[in-house]
Amino acid sequence: MTQMESVQIRFPSEELKRIDSYVKRGEYHSRSEFIRDAVRKAEMIQALKDIRKIMEKEGITEEDLHKGGKAIREKIFSEMFGEIE
């Protein structure tokens, strides 16, 4: 299991009330779980933005992405993370 570290953060009371409402409805077990999920979602959104930038730079369209299959995905992956070995 990943080692967890504790941090103290401050939220405006209205934001904290919204977080607490998710916890109260049972969508999250705790405030911490909500915040961890929010961080993961922010990382996914950033990855999608990065993919869009690469697609624009390389002239790749949505249609190319769907039709191009593995070759297009590998091209985007190599732009993001380096060459596939």
pLDDT 10s digits, 27-82:
999 999 999 999 999 999 999 899 889 889 888 888 887 787 777 778 787 877 77
Residue 26 belongs to a domain:
yes
Residue 51 belongs to a domain:
yes
What domain range includes position 29? 13-81
Going by pLDDT thresholds of 50, 70 and 90, the confidence category of residue 84 is low
Q: Using DSSP, how many helices (H) and how many strands (E) does the chain show?
A: 3, 0
Residue 3 belongs to a domain:
no
- The helix/strand/coil state of 45 is helix
Residue 62 belongs to a domain:
yes
Residue 61 belongs to a domain:
yes
Count of domains observed in the chain = 1
Residue 66 belongs to a domain:
yes
How far is the C-alpha of 30 from the C-alpha of 13, rounded, in Å? 16
